[in-house]
Chains A and B, each alone.
Chain A
């Protein structure tokens, strides 16, 4: 029986040797995959950016930031939006996006109130939502990344005063139903009222965010106030329309225009001197950090809280000012693509 025992021992030890070898080998193959990963998501993790007037150039820079962050984190992104300036369409699009259960939604709130219900619905469904560019403060959105629009208005007011020599009549062409534009307007108006008594805001018009519409509004304004010496346009398309109108009216040297954003048309007009100054927003940063924030929430990387959906303790900075800078003829070249 000793021989049998001996054979058993040999058999079992051979098997154990083989087993360890096999196991070691398995571990070895796994290690190949671990190279160079860092903070990485899954490619089937889909983050969605939702905008309104989705075709306009303004969003493209934000979305570029969104895409750049996605590439870095190895996740997928999608871009959706209402093609029209229509809050109902935005809600529809947002509902559709929620139905697909994405990993996160970055939305720009076209209306500070109207989207609250839908945003809260997404949060309840477990989808992290951040707002960018235009916020919805009363919703449960986790963070807002965007320009401090009131400050932007203040900056515009100071620049306008500087351009006009602290006196004259100015008009504002804006989107009066949109919170960010309201804030820009009030920052602009209140600063002028407080600090530059000789500058009078004579009109506030709705440019509908459209080039042609704004151009038409400008013609009307110039007719109503022939002595108008400054126009502040709170968004880019309108800025180009205003520029075109002033150019057509041959009032370029007399009427100073302050526009918003740095799309190609605006920059060209700054370079040509039609638009005196434009305010550059950190749009790329909005997109980039929106995705980073969403990714952090999705992967529970923020401040440790029990349930981010409750919203009692913020995981992430709630309000992020992406900054503003004034673009004039002297520094416009820096804003063209390289």
Chain B
């Protein structure tokens, strides 16, 4: 079964189709041939039995005709006189004899099947036209006479007699005639007065029986109740037929083998003549009709097999070929060629499968291009920042010069401030790297705060708390993510507040996250503002994605949008960059209360710098060189 399962599908289909088409026709063939065999042999037997019955009827009619003749003869008064004269007269009156002979001649005139009629009285005197005694031996002592006597006036068929003391003038031999006898009794005394003997020509029996043909070579034969043959045709098979086979029943049928020939025997006994008519025919011949039907059946099965095989192959290939083609397409796609599109227009299941495969390929191609778009967008955003940094780059160089000049001129505070500003720009540029060391980032924000402190004097206080673990590790941070938030805290928090404000920046490590908190005790935000801000934070990314999927080509639009975020919404910019770089789960969250202040929390993954360069540095570097 397992092996079957491992076969190629077309062989499975071929085998199944063949089994479905050929097996039933073979079964049907066998069934029909069996049924036909039964029906035909039954019919043949019934027909043969009927033929035998008809033959028996004609034999009976011949015999009963003869029987009637014996009665007609015995009714004749001359014959009666002759029979009753018995012992009284030793000679026959010639006139009486002439009359009786004329009378008997009438019967042979009408019945040419009668070979001879002999009337014998108990005194051993006889009258006949055709027959006479061979010797002077008494005819009344003959076997046939005694048989007639013992039948007591009842008609008796003797069949072929042999060795009787009677001869027919026309040389009818014993085996050419069938003898019929009837004793004439004195009605009062029941003494036999004489016997009428009639010889019936076997020829008429033979003609009747020969006329019945059983198949091509079958024949009929007749045997009497003693098992002696009445009529058997000249066939070499007759020798082997044994009479006792037919002894038991009135009719029946059986098969026997004689001289290597299988023969069918059907027989029926006539109760009137007490003869059994036997039909003999070859079994082969009986089944020759069956053979013919079987021949047609087998021819039909061959035809069905032929068509079945053709149809099986066609069907199997028509199913397996598209599957194979689909399989090849899949293999091509598997090896990387996504442009392949199997099938033309098929409406069946395989066509549907092909279409699904096509749809899947299209989807994959689309997803791949989406990923490309996202990547490009990220790069675009970086590029914008770079562009924004180009101006500070020039500024940084100038500031360096100013600081140098201020120190030369002895203006220490100017020098310090310019130094901070210069550091701010330097770190901000950071060779165009995407990520910078966390320490640098912190220094960058300190520089910024120092500058702002110079501006706001006592109004702005700040302190930086850094987890000691952070300083030991060379942790990388996405660049410029603190400054915009601190800027926001100053402009929207501290600046709006009365009295001096305080900004606290803390960096801690929690599990795999770097948690940076920027807390101010400024004005804070109303609940609505906070909610809308948080909503925007959680939806910025979706917005970008949607735009990129719905409108791939419109890159300008997105660039503008991102730009606006940087200019207007520093927090958004930071959040978007973190999410684009590291995915959902990272980013910015805001908590705020009116009058108490705002805490902005940045969740950033821990990235350890191993190469001494920033993450994604290579790609950005190339752009930066220009």
Interface residues of A (CB under 8 A from B): 4, 7-8, 11, 14-15, 18, 22, 25-26, 29-30, 32-33, 35-36, 43-44, 54-57, 60-61, 63-64, 67, 70-71, 74, 76-81, 83, 211-212, 244, 263-264, 336-338
Within 8 A of A (CB), among B159-187: 167-172
CB < 8 Å neighbour of B106 from A43, A55, A264 = A55
Query: Is A29 touching B284 in the complex (CB atoms < 8 A)?
Result: yes
- Does any Cβ of A come within 8 Å of B236's Cβ? yes
B147 at the interface (CB under 8 A from A): no
Instruction: With A15-B299, A29-B284, A78-B112 as known contacts, state yes or no: A56 contacts B105, CB within 8 Å.
Output: yes
Say which residue of B109, B172, B210, B236 sits within 8 Å of A54 (CB atoms).
Answer: B109
B100-131 with Cβ < 8 A to chain A = 105-106, 108-109, 112, 129-130
Task: Report how far A244 CA is from B95 CA in the complex, Å.
Answer: 11
B285 part of interface (Cβ distance < 8 Å): yes
Asked if B288 and A15 make an inter-chain contact with CB atoms under 8 angstroms apart, the answer reads: no
What sequence of 0s and 1s flags, for each residue 200-228 of chain B, a beta carbon within 8 Å of any chain A beta carbon? 01010011001100001100000000000
- A290 to chain B minimum Cβ distance, whole angstroms, is 15
Q: How far is the CB of B174 from chain A (nearest CB, A)?
A: 12
Dominant secondary structure at the B interface:
helix
Residues of B contacting A338 in the complex (Cβ-Cβ under 8 angstroms):
167, 171
Which size bracket describes the interface of B in this complex?
A: 35 or more
Q: Which residues of A contact B98 (CB under 8 A)?
A: 211-212
A15-B299, A29-B285, A67-B203 in contact; A83/B109 too (CB < 8 A)?
Answer: yes
Q: What CA separation (Å) do A44 and B213 show in the bound complex?
A: 11
Say yes or no for B592: interface residue by CB 8 A criterion.
Answer: no
Give chain A residues whose Cβ lies under 8 Å from the Cβ of B17. Answer: none
Contact, CB under 8 Å: B203 / A4: no
Distance between B179 CB and nearest chain A CB, rounded to angstroms:
16
Q: Is the CB of A11 within 8 A of B132?
A: no
Q: Known interface pairs A15-B302, A64-B171. Does A4 touch B313 (Cβ–Cβ under 8 Å)?
A: yes
A29 in contact with B94 (CB, 8 Å)? no
User: In the complex the two chains form, is A337's CB within 8 Å of B171's CB?
Assistant: yes
- Bound together, the chains give a CA A61 to CA B130 distance in angstroms of 10
**Interchain CB contact under 8 A, B305 and A11:** yes
Residue among A26, A30, A55, A79 with the highest chain B CB neighbour number at 10 A: A55
User: Closest residue of chain B to A77, judged by CB?
Assistant: B203
A13: min CB distance to chain B, Å: 11
A79 touches B211 (CB 8 A): no
- Does A33 contact B207, Cβ atoms closer than 8 Å? no
A64 in contact with B105 given A33-B217, A44-B211, A244-B94 (CB within 8 Å): no
- B309/A63 in contact, CB under 8 A: no
B interface with A by C-beta (< 8 Å): 94, 98, 105-106, 108-109, 112, 129-130, 132, 167-172, 201, 203, 206-207, 210-211, 216-217, 234-236, 261, 282, 284-285, 288, 291, 295, 298-299, 302, 305-306, 309-310, 313
A67→B305 contact, CB < 8 A: no
A22, A29, A30, A55: which contacts B105 (Cβ < 8 A)?
A: A55
CB pair A11 B306 closer than 8 Å: yes
Number of A-B contacts (CB under 8 A): 91
In the bound complex, what is the Cα–Cα distance between A165 and B469 (angstroms)?
186
Given A64-B172, A71-B203: A35 and B236 within 8 A (CB)? yes
Distance of A63 Cα from B216 Cα, bound (Å): 31
Q: Which of A4, A36, A43, A336 has a CB less than 8 Å from the CB of B211?
A: A43
Bound CA span A336–B210, Å? 32
Contact check, A70 vs B203: say whether CB atoms are below 8 A apart: yes
Chain B neighbourhood of A25, CB < 8 A: 291
Cβ contacts under 8 Å, B291 to chain A: 22, 25-26
CB distance from B72 to the nearest CB of A (A): 15
Contact indicator B109/A76 (Cβ below 8 Å): no
Residues of A within 8 A of B206 (CB): 71
A7 CA to B234 CA, complexed, in Å: 52
Contacts of B282 in A (CB 8 A): 29, 32
Determine whether the beta carbon of B170 is less than 8 Å from that of A337: yes
Q: What is the CA–CA distance of A70 and B305 in the complex, to the nearest angstrom?
A: 56
Would A264 and B284 count as touching, CB distance under 8 A? Answer: no
Q: Are A63 and B217 in contact (CB under 8 A)?
A: no
11 interchain pairs, CB-CB under 8 A: A4-B309, A4-B310, A8-B306, A8-B309, A11-B302, A11-B305, A36-B234, A61-B170, A64-B171, A80-B112, A337-B167
Shortest Cβ-Cβ A-B pairs, 4 listed: A55-B109, A79-B112, A43-B210, A55-B105
The CA of A7 and the CA of B312, in the complex, are separated in Å by 12
CB distance from B319 to the nearest CB of A (A): 16
Kindly list chain A residues whose C-beta atoms are within 8 Å of the C-beta of B94. 244
Whole-angstrom distance between the alpha carbons of A263 and B106 in the complex?
17
B408 smallest CB distance to A (angstroms): 99
- Are A29 and B168 in contact, with the CB atoms below 8 A? no
Q: Which residue on chain A has the smallest CB distance to residue B299?
A: A15
Chain B min CB distance to A45 (Å): 11
Q: Are B132 and A7 in contact (CB under 8 A)?
A: no
Closest to A337 in B: B167
Q: Are B306 and A29 interface neighbours, CB within 8 A?
A: no
- CB neighbours (8 Å) of A80 from chain B are 112
Cβ–Cβ contact A74 & B210, under 8 A: yes
